[in-house]
Structure 1
Amino acid sequence: MSMESVRPVPPPHSETEAMYNGIAALVEATAGPDRHYGFWAGHQDGASIGEATGRLTDLVASKLNVGPGSHVLDVGCGNGGPAVRIAQTSGARVTAIDVDRQALRNGAERARSQEVAALVEFRRIDAMDLPFAPASFDAVLAFESTPHFDIFPLYQGISRVLRPGGRLVVETPYPRTPMTEETRRRISPYLSMLNAVSLDPPEQHLSAARAAGMAAVELIDITDNVRHSFPRLVRGLRERRAHLEAVGGAAEADRLLDAFSAWADATEIGGVIMTFTRIQDGALT
């Protein structure tokens, strides 16, 4: 059955940046600096959020198939954890882009502290207008960043800068079932808080990739492994409610907790890792 995308109204980049600056410190105090899901073996897995997010970073990075001499583009890099980790573990050079200036500063500091600043460059760039020459990159990473974009033009731009045979790896939440009005009502505060543009099912990503001259290599559903992330985050945020109120007031604390709780309870939302490859020019029919 075809599953529709969830599409809120696209926000200006300034609003996206302001949103992250407003809630990032609150969430990071609980979950750590990496703004993505964690990977758990199951409910009894006692790993911390930091350990679990590190696991997912390594799993996703392993799909890039890069090494020394490779050049990776990290689209929507956040605080730079995956970019730094890729440089550390593979020796590849990484260009990490985002519109959040504070996150870019955090990423640059992280790269310096981990002694990979020579391999990782952080730049404030709009992913919908990539200023790079064709075939500039051996691999592209989109780590829970695609909900911020219309994926059809996003994938067109990524395909242009990806060399033939290079890989695009996307890790993202997705709707597992067709969206009902009731589900939309429950998850829309969370998506609005993040200034999300869309939440697309894998088949929509596959269509966008094919239209951009890329073919699917692998699709791994990680719903059972990442579903534990948000309940843990919500518990941690509730334990810090006094801090939330001190920073933003009681009403803002309620809004934040309600939005995250609704997302944590939304069994209709899953997680997936998709790997695509850029087809040789003229090979796609």
Structure 2
Amino acid sequence: MDAGNVRTAPSEIESTYNEIAALVGETAGPDRHYGFWAGPDDDTTISEATERMTDFVLARLDVGPGSQVLDVGCGNGRPAVRLARTFGARVVAIDIDRQALRNGAEHAAAHGMAEMVDFRRVDALDLPFATASFDAVLAFEVTPHFDIADLYRGIARVLRPRGRLVVETPYPRVPMTEEIRGRIGPYLAMLNAVSLDTPEDHLSAAREAGMAITELVDITENVRGSFPRLVRALRRRLETGAGAERLLDTFAAWADATEVGGVVMTFNRMEH
């Protein structure tokens, strides 16, 4: 699904997330990504399920003490801090949301990880890092904000040969019709998303950038419960009103969109 391939200004993305972050955070916790459930009968809480998803994704980075990792679109920094604490890697966590970066830095300091995680306000399409300076890169539910061809070229440049990129993202399971766009478009627009790309689009963009796919895991059935649970929690929390109803309707339409799935992809930077 293409949103016109027009890049949204970082300031607009930052403003949008500031508007919805507090509400969603109070309801579902500080992580800004899907939860991972074993199935419809799994009664894990949203916050526990998002941590489970974090562990599922981070394990694929294959890093350890001394590894240098770039977290692209780090949000509130929970995965970056968990990565440093669990694997001993040093992490540069970038985002354009200043409040999220402050939250991340505070969380790192509270867990004794301030020296291990460096939070910076950086545009992911203009990475100010030396060529081949990272052993791994994490892109955790952020690719819809970018033209992935541009994003992957920049990531490939800063990855060392045989370095690893792990991407977790929603994707369209079927060709997008006008009817589907009409239902899920408001949610993507609310997040200032540029596009919703298929796994094949990701593989093509990565290959053009000099990276090869090593693993693709479809997690659609595991993440399907994320937004229905969030909507139910929001309905219990929000007062009725036109603004609240519009927000809930937007989230509910995304929750009901069985045409949208989830995938985790692992790529390696080719040596030549």
**Residue 2 (structure 2) pairs with residue 6 (structure 1):** yes
1:105 and 1:153 mapped to 2: Cα distance? 27
CA deviations on 1:60-88 (whole Å, 9 max, x unpaired) are 00000100000000000000011001001
1:193-212 alignment to 2 at 5 Å?
A: 193-212=190-209
Counting only pairs closer than 5 Å after superposition, residues 121-140 of structure 1 correspond to structure 2 as: 121-140=118-137
Instruction: Give runs of aligned pairs for residues 233-244 of structure 1, distance below 5 A.
Output: 233-242=230-239
Select which of 92, 95, 111 maps to 2:89: 92
What do the CA deviations read for 1:106-125 (whole angstroms, capped 9, x no partner)?
00001011111110000000
Q: Distance in 2 between matches of 1:125 and 1:36?
A: 20
Corresponding residue SS for 2:164: strand
Residue of structure 2 equivalent to 1:162: 159
Q: Which amino acid in 2 is paired with 1:278?
A: R
1:253 matched to 2:244: yes
Matched, 1:270 2:261: yes
Inter-partner Cα distance in structure 1 for 2:243 and 2:77: 27
Letter in 2 for 1:230: F
SS of the residue 2:129 aligns to: coil
Q: Does 1:52 align with 2:45?
A: no
Correspondence for 1:116 among 72, 89, 113: 113
**Equivalent residue letter for 1:96:** A
Instruction: Give the Cα–Cα distance (whole angstroms) in 2 for the partners of residues 276 and 55 of structure 1.
Output: 21
Shift in Å, 1:47: 0.5
What is the CA-CA distance between 1:7 and the residue it aligns to? Answer: 2.2
Post-superposition Cα deviations, 1:152-203, rounded to whole Å, max 9, x if no partner, equal 0100000000000000000000000000100000001100000001110000
Moved over 4 A (4+): none
CA contact (8 A) 1:6 1:179 kept: no
> Does the residue aligned with 1:97 lie in a helix, a strand or coil?
strand
Identify unmatched segments of 5+ residues in structure 2: none
Residue in 2 aligned with 1:63?
60
2:271 pairs, out of 276, 280, 283, with: 280
**In the alignment, which residue of structure 1 is the partner of 2:69?**
72
- 1:26 has 2:23 as partner: yes
Distance in 2 (CA, whole Å) between partners of 1:46 and 1:158 is 37
In the other structure, the counterpart of 1:101 is 98
Paired letter, 2:128:
P
Please report how far the alpha carbon of residue 6 of structure 1 lies from its aligned counterpart in structure 2 after TM superposition. 3.0
Q: Please list every run of 5 or more consecutive structure 1 residues that lacks an aligned counterpart in the other structure.
A: none
Instruction: Assess if the C-alpha contact under 8 Å between 1:155 and 1:208 holds in 2.
Output: yes
- Deviation string 1:92-117 (CA, Å, 9 cap, x unpaired) is 00000000000000000010111111
CA distance in 2, matches of 1:165, 1:217: 11
Percent of paired sites with the same residue: 70
1:251 is displaced (CA, Å) by 2.4
Contact kept in structure 2, 1:169 and 1:273, CA below 8 Å: yes
8 Å Cα contact 1:241/1:253 also seen in 2 = yes
SS in 1 for 2:61: coil
Letter in 1 for 2:268: T
* TM-score (structure 2 length as normaliser): 0.98
